[in-house]
Structure 1
């Protein structure tokens, strides 16, 4: 899920500079990538209430949603890995929206049992590999493998935490999105939006962005092509990310 962010983006040694904030990620197992940026730019942001970012990592999606939402919206960012959560806290403090963001170092199952909050929007860039080849570090394994947070558990926690009319949005590799959707439907979710991401028009989708609700309804399916024929970023990709990337 985590790719290099747009090459034109200004890169510091330890993070990325966006139009309104900087994200350090040198202490995070998984770095800032295109998946998180697409999700943070795409999700429908509520105008009031609370937002939850499950597995926030460096806090990139949290900060993007803070930039996009009015001051009346507060955001809770939950991260199980201690170093990543510390870095998310530092990124929060350095941002213009520190007073609206709370970073919690906890696993989502424990958080779910301890909080009374209910959320208008829940977002997640979740683990997506089944346990397999060893990662270089335990922290990277936690970020990458569904062993640390299964999709069943993620959906179950989201069910408990979401407001009745709320939305749950995720980004996943295309090869696991169908299984995720099947699991979600078995738990009573409806898939309401599905954005298939292709690197080029002739390629196959490699990522899917999904919006789920507990309210039944039709699914709106669209495709986003990242690059035009000449290799430059497409009009649609630029339009989606222009409020964040410096040179879009």
Structure 2
């Protein structure tokens, strides 16, 4: 394995042409998101290398899974990774912005997932890596609005974001009629602050706002490279050395 590729148990990610490499956030979202009997069509927004889509293909091999990616190099590499996987017949990549995709596609999805951009700089990003992480390429409201348009009646939206964006995210999702079903707050260690939130939204989550969503906490490590049991159980079926 080199920095240009990352080997998982059942698939390989080539990433030499992608600004954003394989990281903990994408693996966490793919492993954490619930799958049920209604999960037949899945969309990965900002699919990049195709990591999240491929994790979902491993977990749900009968599902039809689409990716949508704006950056041309990342799009091509995502296609390459899909084609080299055991699930290539169920995977398809679209090259366009999510905003365009949401306006043009007539199909509905049972599950939409995204590890979206999280920098909020005033200026446009100067290179691919900045674009991949900058809000200007996909504002949160555009992501939620598009999900509102594309999700089926019982569809779900699953995201991973920095904890600092939780309040903004909840305001936007409430505006479009989504409620939180599941929320997991992620710490690096027991002593470190919460850095990320994993959150699942549904149109049906809960109509009675007095009913609180399921909230949990996930700690990744006891100390450097000594992973907690909960983290190993969550991601162990994907990483080679876990």
What TM-score, normalized to structure 2? 0.93
Partner of 1:62: 53
Q: Which residue of 165, 168, 180 corresponds with 1:191?
A: 180
1:173 aligns with 2:162: yes
Q: Which residue of 222, 228, 235 corresponds with 1:228?
A: 222
* 1:179-202 deviation digits (Å, cap 9, x = unpaired): 111221122110111110001112
Q: Report the CA distance between 1:230 and its aligned residue.
A: 7.4
2:25·2:160 contact (CA, 8 Å) conserved in 1? yes
2:61·2:87 contact (CA, 8 Å) conserved in 1? no
Q: Report the CA distance between 1:213 and its aligned residue.
A: 0.8
Counterpart Cα distance in 1 of 2:32 and 2:66 = 19
Q: Report the CA distance between 1:216 and its aligned residue.
A: 3.1
1:46·1:120 contact (CA, 8 Å) conserved in 2? no
Counterpart Cα distance in 1 of 2:69 and 2:36 = 22
Counterpart Cα distance in 1 of 2:102 and 2:176 = 17
1:75 aligns with 2:65: yes
* 1:21-68 deviation digits (Å, cap 9, x = unpaired): 000111111111000000010101244421000000000000000000
Q: Which residue of 95, 103, 109 corresponds with 1:119?
A: 109
Gaps of 5+ in 1: 1-10
1:189·1:212 contact (CA, 8 Å) conserved in 2? yes
Partner of 2:209: none
Q: Which residue of 183, 201, 223 corresponds with 1:212?
A: 201
Q: Which residue of 128, 133, 139 corresponds with 2:118?
A: 128
200 and 168 in structure 1: CA distance in 2 versus 1, 3 angstrom threshold: same
227 and 191 in structure 1: CA distance in 2 versus 1, 3 angstrom threshold: same
216 and 134 in structure 1: CA distance in 2 versus 1, 3 angstrom threshold: closer
Q: Report the CA distance between 1:169 and its aligned residue.
A: 0.2
Q: CA RMSD in A?
A: 1.5
Q: Report the CA distance between 1:231 and its aligned residue.
A: 5.3
199 and 113 in structure 1: CA distance in 2 versus 1, 3 angstrom threshold: same
Q: Secondary structure at the match of 1:12?
A: coil
Counterpart Cα distance in 2 of 1:165 and 1:15 = 36
Counterpart Cα distance in 1 of 2:53 and 2:113 = 9
Gaps of 5+ in 2: 207-211
Counterpart Cα distance in 1 of 2:172 and 2:83 = 37
Counterpart Cα distance in 2 of 1:178 and 1:233 = 29
Q: How many residues align?
A: 236
1:46·1:69 contact (CA, 8 Å) conserved in 2? no
Counterpart Cα distance in 1 of 2:59 and 2:229 = 20
Q: Which residue of 97, 116, 121 corresponds with 2:87?
A: 97
Q: Report the CA distance between 1:125 and its aligned residue.
A: 0.5
